[in-house]
Structure 1
Amino acid sequence: MSDNVCLQLPVSVVNRATTSTDRSEYLLNLLENILPPSDTKSVNEELKKTFTFNKYRTKHVRRKPKKVTFLTARKRSELGLNKLDNRINLKYVDALALNQLWLEYMRQMLGVNNFTDLPQGPVEPNWDNIGQQLLKADFHGAKIVVIRSKCPSLVGIHGIVLQDTKCTFRVIGEDSIIRTIPKDTAVFKICLGNVNLQLFGRELCVRPAERSVKKFKSARVPDL
């Protein structure tokens, strides 16, 4: 029995071996025999169609992980980037350049070359629009002075804003000391060169990113 394993197959057996062509012809003959005559006309066309799930496989594209190009909130907190205190040795003169950038930003935002061109009262045109733009502005770099407050010790504090949060201003004074001023209890004077404007801090108790898209009501007169 073991001697016959390596023997060549007889010709009669080899001739009966099926190939892919034989299978196709067999399938075609089978379908023509079992299908009604009305359906056999389209058999050849149907067999020529290719089906994606049968003959082709989609190439698996390996996606490369996106590189993080910014610091997450947790990373910023761990690095202490959101913290401002007097240990960072920041001087008032260092913040003057930030104030100049802020003044240029305000000129572009208000659409004026000189702040003296701003309307002087509610009867002048564009008054409401300027008021809306001021409330939406970002105050990082602004020179501010507390002119009224429920807390008397806050009155007179002035400096350049280093951090504008939802409820506070962090300012650096001329003595290079960083102080925190709550917004909702104070009225601020905003220095635009030779022009001074008053803003109620209660109207600014919104995060700067949210405040820039918020619509403020101009009819209501806020109370300290």
Structure 2
Amino acid sequence: MQGTRRLKIDNRIHLDNKVQERNLSGIAIEALQSHSKRSKKHMSMKQHKKCGSLDLPKDLCKFEKFKPMHEMWKNYITELIKSVGTSQMAQCLLGADLHGAHILVADCKMAAFKGVSGIMIRETAETFGIITKDDKFKVVLKKISVFMLQVDCWKITLHGDKLTSRKVGQ
């Protein structure tokens, strides 16, 4: 027992396969170090906006670049409706891919988005990204909006709160 005071015990464990640190931006590191459960895995909307991850590059903000996508969508939706028939069209459209659809924001609780129309090019769980004819990219919340689109001779109204529960492409 004598001399045990001088003995130092090393409690560290050395691993041969050390995990390499990820290269993250300062904003991503702040998000991961935050105390909330969501922030440990995801950045907040404020952080996304600050680092520009939600912005569309300026060279892609051209309505003309997305016209072929709209033509492809028209062919896709026409074939989809023909295969399903008009009796199940409503259910079919709720599950259909809307990338390339020409969408009009018929009603929105945010007055700035009311009347926005263009080709839908980005969809998230809660938003639609729309490129307008004047080459502007607008992100519209689904939950507070009502959208209209036209398929052949049908004018279709989609309530955004019904669209928020559907699965977005992976």
Q: What TM-score, normalized by structure 1, do the two folds share?
A: 0.48
Q: Is structure 2 residue 138 aligned with structure 1 residue 144?
A: no
Answering whether residue 129 of structure 2 is matched by residue 188 of structure 1, we say no
Which of 113, 120, 135 is equivalent to 1:176? 135
Which residue does the alignment assign to 2:161? 202
CA distance in 1, matches of 2:89, 2:97: 14
Cα pair 1:86 1:178 within 8 Å, conserved: no
Residue 98 (1) aligns with residue 69 (2): yes
Q: Which amino acid aligns with 1:196?
A: K
Q: TM-score, normalised by structure 2?
A: 0.62
RMSD: 2.1
Percentage of identical aligned residues? 24
Question: Is 2:126–2:143's contact at 8 Å kept on the other side of the alignment?
Answer: yes
Structure of larger gyration radius: 1
Q: Please give the alpha-carbon distance, in whole angstroms, between the structure 2 residues aligned to 1:160 and 1:204.
A: 17
Gaps of 5+ in 2: 1-52
Q: Does 1:160 align with 2:131?
A: no
> Greater share of strand residues, 1 or 2?
2
Q: Is the 2:78–2:151 Cα contact (8 Å) retained in structure 1?
A: no
> Does residue 109 of structure 1 match 2:68?
no
Which residue is equivalent to 1:71?
A: none
CA positional deviation for 1:93? 1.1
